[in-house]
């Protein structure tokens, strides 16, 4: 087993159980305790785990501002995977959010691109490019520059797009996609119907947060692009549900 494969297995076990022991990992992964110790040191150096006597524990939560900064690298990796699906001449919807903003940064110079968004920050990014940019009309949230509401819903009735990239506030244990904003829930359901392909782009922090309003479910998307590591049982369940899962958890993200 390659080192990168061991790292993923170790992270999977820690995320599932909260802690692991060197001897336990040595038996499961069929390598020496010395190799496991080196793996744990590597993961700790990458800020993925915390070492403890005889093993390792899940990384403790950090302050909100630092946490948001820490997740940017993960969002960039997710955005890279998303950008692979965008080709010259595409019509693209970019949902309001920080991960979709990273996608926008990567695709802004794709030739003959048409972009529809409900995020003023994303729209401003395309202002100096050759892309055609269309902004959904509606109520603007002045705190974050995001647009939702009745007018935005009415505007998108006549659109037909090649691909859409979506964010979420939270994911529950049944793979339901949730948000704290009821207007976002209704808007996202409507715009998804106008996209030939739809991708949910979410980093692992979305699986620990809470939100009230249901948008839809993983199975309603063409694919899910995330850096969260799932167990084999979880991946088997998603496969049975027809959920297409793409990992943005590459070696450079582990270190």
Statement to judge: residues 124 and 239 lie in one domain: yes
**pLDDT attached to residue 63:** 38
**pLDDT attached to residue 166:** 97
Statement to judge: residues 182 and 100 lie in one domain: yes
Q: Domain with 214 in it: what CATH number?
A: 3.40.50.1360
Find the distance separating the first CA and the last CA of the chain, reported in whole Å: 17
Tens of pLDDT along 32-59? 999 999 888 888 877 678 888 788 887 6
Statement to judge: residues 138 and 217 lie in one domain: yes
CA distance 105 to 63: 27
Statement to judge: residues 15 and 127 lie in one domain: no
**pLDDT attached to residue 162:** 97
Domain boundary residue, one of 43, 58, 73: 58
Statement to judge: residues 137 and 240 lie in one domain: yes
Q: Domain with 11 in it: what CATH number?
A: 1.10.10.10
Tens of pLDDT along 87-135? 999 999 999 999 999 999 999 999 999 999 999 999 999 998 999 999 9
Statement to judge: residues 81 and 178 lie in one domain: yes
- Tell me how crowded residue 204 is: count the other CB atoms within 10 A of its CB: 16
Domain of 150, in residue numbers: 64-254
Q: Is the pLDDT of residue 238 over 90?
A: no
Most confident of 24-28, 109-113, 234-238, 245-249: 109-113
Cβ–Cβ under 8 Å, residues 75 and 147 = no
CA distance 123 to 129: 11
Statement to judge: residues 150 and 226 lie in one domain: yes
Number of domains making up the chain: 2
Statement to judge: residues 185 and 236 lie in one domain: yes
Q: Give the C-alpha distances (Å, rounded to integers) separating 224 from 48, 150, 203.
A: 22, 28, 10
Residue carrying the six token digits 């979420």: 168
- Give me the sheet containing 55-58, strands edge to edge: 19-21, 55-58, 49-52
Statement to judge: residues 18 and 137 lie in one domain: no
Statement to judge: residues 106 and 201 lie in one domain: yes
CA distance 180 to 139: 17
CA distance 33 to 24: 9
Statement to judge: residues 125 and 15 lie in one domain: no
């Amino acid at each position: 087993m390659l080192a990168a494969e061991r790292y993923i297995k170790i992270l999977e076990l820690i995320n599932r159980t909260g802690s692991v022991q060197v001897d336990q990992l040595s038996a499961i992964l069929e390598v020496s305790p010395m190799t496991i110790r080196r793996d744990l040191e590597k993961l700790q150096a990458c800020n993925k785990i915390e070492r403890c006597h005889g093993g390792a524990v899940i990384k403790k939560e950090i302050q909100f501002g630092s946490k948001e900064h820490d997740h940017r690298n993960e969002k960039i990796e997710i955005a890279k995977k998303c950008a692979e699906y965008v080709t010259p001449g595409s019509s693209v919807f970019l949902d309001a959010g920080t991960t979709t903003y990273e996608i926008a940064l990567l695709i802004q110079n794709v030739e003959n691109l048409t972009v529809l968004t409900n995020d003023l920050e994303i729209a401003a990014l395309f202002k100096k490019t050759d892309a055609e940019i269309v902004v959904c009309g509606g109520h603007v949230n002045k705190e974050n520059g995001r647009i939702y509401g009745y007018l935005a819903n009415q505007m998108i009735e006549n659109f037909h797009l090649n691909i859409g990239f979506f964010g979420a506030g939270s994911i529950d244990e049944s793979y339901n996609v949730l948000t704290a904003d009821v207007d976002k829930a209704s808007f996202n359901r409507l715009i998804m119907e106008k996209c030939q392909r739809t991708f949910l782009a979410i980093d692992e922090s979305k699986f620990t947060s809470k939100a009230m309003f249901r948008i839809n479910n993983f199975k309603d998307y063409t694919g899910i692009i995330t850096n969260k590591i799932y167990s084999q049982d979880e991946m088997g369940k998603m496969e049975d549900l027809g959920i297409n899962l793409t990992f943005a958890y590459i070696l450079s993200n582990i270190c």
